[in-house]
Each structure stands twice: as structure tokens, then as C-alpha cells.
Amino acid sequence: MGRRCLCDTIKPILKLSQLLGVIPLNLDHEKNSAGEKTGSCELTFNWKSLSTFLNTSFIFFFLLISPIAHSEIRDRMSIVFSGTDLYAFSLQTVAMVLETTILLTVGRLYQGKFSRGWSSLNEVFHAICDSADDLKQIKLGSYITALIIMMEGVFFFIFMYLTSHRVLLYQSCTALLIGTFVISLTLIIPYIMSTLFLFICLLIRSHFLKISEMLKTVVTKQNSPKLSSKIDALRILHEQLCQTVTYFEDFFGFQVLLTLCTCCFTVTVGAYACIIHDTSSPQGKELTGAWGMQLYCAAIFILLILISGQLVTNAAASPGPVLNAIPLTELDQLSQIQVTAFLSKISAFPTKMSAVKITTISTTFLASAATNITTYLLVLMQFKLSVENRFDDDVENLTSQVGGFEMDPSTEPIFYNVTTPESLAFLTESL
């Protein structure tokens, strides 16, 4: 029977990432002479593989539609929106298309970082967790999450198509299908990337916690022979795991930063859309539901990314309390040196997930994000209210001017609908 392989733990997420081109890499397993898996796997790049073909196809597809996306999206949205609303909503949709294009392109350019990070994590896995059962929950969670993503992907496509069909009445069926397919991909691909980032961070966290558990077991036997060498071995594994974090940070850094920025913008626009739309009409309900769904997805992406980074940060520092609880006076000199070196590294150089060294990926990002989202939401609402108040004042002024004219009683009065900009323009020219 072959040894356990690390890829078995998150295989559904890896497969989805390969199918959507998020990681254009192939899983290669080493086998012994009997044809059994040795438990070692590598992610390698192959031009002829399906994942590489899909990644390339999606990149060229989005690069092809990106130049025309802005004008097309603006024309379609002009049926429903106008003014600042048209600008904000079309810009947000174009930003999602550009985000997806960049995510796929960065995945191709930095695929070597992911491959090295996976190899390093695989080595630590066989060193400390090869026979452990603490990864079963992650494996179960990966299958459940993959099922949820596939179901939500189908739901996104159907919901967006029906919404577009009801709102954009004059669009052909082919145009609606292509547009719905594009919008669905702009939701699903960042979803897959955020989920892959989450499960990679969960694997890293599990290994950090395993090192802390092994360290606690070692230090409780202070009189055991070769105590210093055992502590040193765990310190080296911890260092290697920290280097693994650096590899994955290089791969996910720019993608995570771009996704966080785009999601904050989407949350702002989505919340604004849900507030201003009139839900009394069927069209208003459809639009509110569509933007509400995008707001929900963006919030999920933000939480997945920030919680993942926080888990790694906390787990990397988990050996600290164990080392602080060790009475150094009861250890030999070599063991004291190893404990001090281990503790100094954790305290002086804490391991944290960062996005291109610009910001730390942790839950502290939520406070600044919430502040910025609220600020820009208030600005949009104030601008909307000022435009509506100015429009109402113009209507009132024109109504009072029309009321000042003397009319022949024998002439049938003409009533104007002064609630539209066209009527206002007509009345202004008449006066």
C-alpha cells in the first residue's frame, strides 16, 4: 500500500484550480517498482497539459474581450442607468474583467513559486505529519467546499442570465449567454483563488501546530538524551515551513492584493445599488438581487483571504508559549542555546502573510476596509441626493413659471409630464 500523499488532502480544490486555469500545473506522483505511490508528489509545468491549455485559453479570451468590454458594458448598462450610476456600475464590471485577466496571467508567470512552495510543504509533511490524522478535517472540508463552489457556479450562471434577460430586453440570446459566461467567470475564478489560498494556509497552519505539539512532547522529557538535537530538528522544520510561507506569499501576494481592492470596490458599489434601487418594480428587484449577489461574493472573498492570513500568523507563533514555559535552569547548556535561538527567531522575525509587502493579510485589514467602504458609500449617497434635490428644484421652478401664464378658458389645457429630463428640456425651450 502506498504512502499518504499531501495532494489527497485538498485534491478537489486543486482539480478545480487546474480546470479554471488558476494554477497551470500538473500533479506528478513518484511510484516505486511495484507501481505504488511513494507519497511524494510535485506540481510541474507542461505546455501540453490540460491545465496549461485552459489557463492560456482563458487568458487570451479575457485579453480579447477586455478592450471592447468597457464600451459594450457601458452601452448595455445605459439602458438601465445614467449619470454617475452608469459610470460607477460599468467601471465596477470592467474592473472584475480586468481582475480575472490579471489573476490568470499572474498565475502563469509565478507558477514556479507555487511549485517550490508545494515541494517544500511536501517535505515538511513527510517529516512530521505522514502518519498523523489531523488532516482529515481539512480533507473533508475540501470536498464540501468544492461541491459548494460548483453548485454556486451553476446558480450564478442561471441567476445572472435570467436577470440579464429580464432587464436587457433588446439583447440577443447569444449576446446574453456570452455576457453571462464572462460575468460568471469573473465571480468563480477569484472564488477558486481565494479558496485555494485558504486551504494552503490551513495546511501550513496544521504543520505549524504539529511542530508545537511535538515540541511540547519533547520538552516535557527534559532528561531525555539528545534533547538539544531534537529541539534543533524542530527549529529547522519551523524554519523550512516559514520559507514555505514565503514561496506561497510570492505566488498569492499580488493576486490577493488585487482581489481585496476589487472586492472593496464591489462591496461599495453593491451596497450603493441595493440602497438606491426601487424594489417596488420587478426590474428594481432583479437589479437589487444581482448586485446583492456580487456584494455577497465580494464579502466572502475578503473574509476567506483575511482569515487565512491570520491563521498562518497565529500558528507560526504557536511554539512561542511552549518555549517560554521551559525552565532553562533545568536544561543543559546546548539545550538552552537551542531554546534561546528558537525563541529569538519567533520573537524577532515573526512569520506573517503579506500582500506584496504592502499590507499584512490579517483581520486587522477589515477595520481600514470598512472605514474606506463607508466613506465612499456616503460620498456616493450624498452626490445622488444632491442630484435628486437639484432635479426637484428645477421641476418646481418650471411648474411655477408655467402656472404664471394666462390661458384661454375655451382652450383645452395641455398637461406635461415634468418628471423626466426630456419634458424639462422641452418646457425650457418653450419658455
Q: What is the pLDDT of residues 43-72, one digit of tens each?
A: 777 777 777 777 788 777 777 776 665 566
**What's residue 412's pLDDT?**
46
- Tens digit of pLDDT for each residue in 262-306? 888 888 877 777 676 655 666 666 666 677 777 888 888 888 899
Q: What is the pTM of this model?
A: 0.80
At residue 236, what is the residue type?
A: I
- Tens digit of pLDDT for each residue in 375-387? 877 776 776 665 5
Q: What is the DSSP string of 218-280?
A: HHT-TTSTTHHHHHHHHHHHHHHHHHHHHHHHHHHHHHHHHHHHHHHHHHHHHHHHHHHS-TT
* Residue 198 reports pLDDT greater than 50: yes
* Residue 130 reports pLDDT greater than 80: no
Higher pLDDT, 337 or 383: 337
At residue 344, what is the residue type?
A: S
- Tens digit of pLDDT for each residue in 223-241? 666 777 888 888 888 899 9
Whether 142 contacts 153, CB under 8 Å: no
DSSP 8-state code for residue 41: E
Name which of 257, 265, 273, 252 is nearest 299 in CA terms.
Answer: 265
Q: What is the DSSP string of 366-392?
A: HHHHHHHHHHHHHHHHHHHHHHHHHHH
Q: Among the ranges 15-19, 44-48, 400-404, which has the highest mean pLDDT value?
A: 15-19
* Residue corresponding to grid cell 424639462: 424
Q: How far does Cα 359 stand from its chain's mean position?
A: 15
Q: For the chain, what percent of residues have pLDDT higher than 90?
A: 5
| 3-class secondary structure, 242 | helix
CA distance 386 to 10: 52
Positive or negative: CA dihedral 97, 100, 104, 107 = positive
pLDDT band at 195 (very low <50, low <70, confident <90, very high): very high
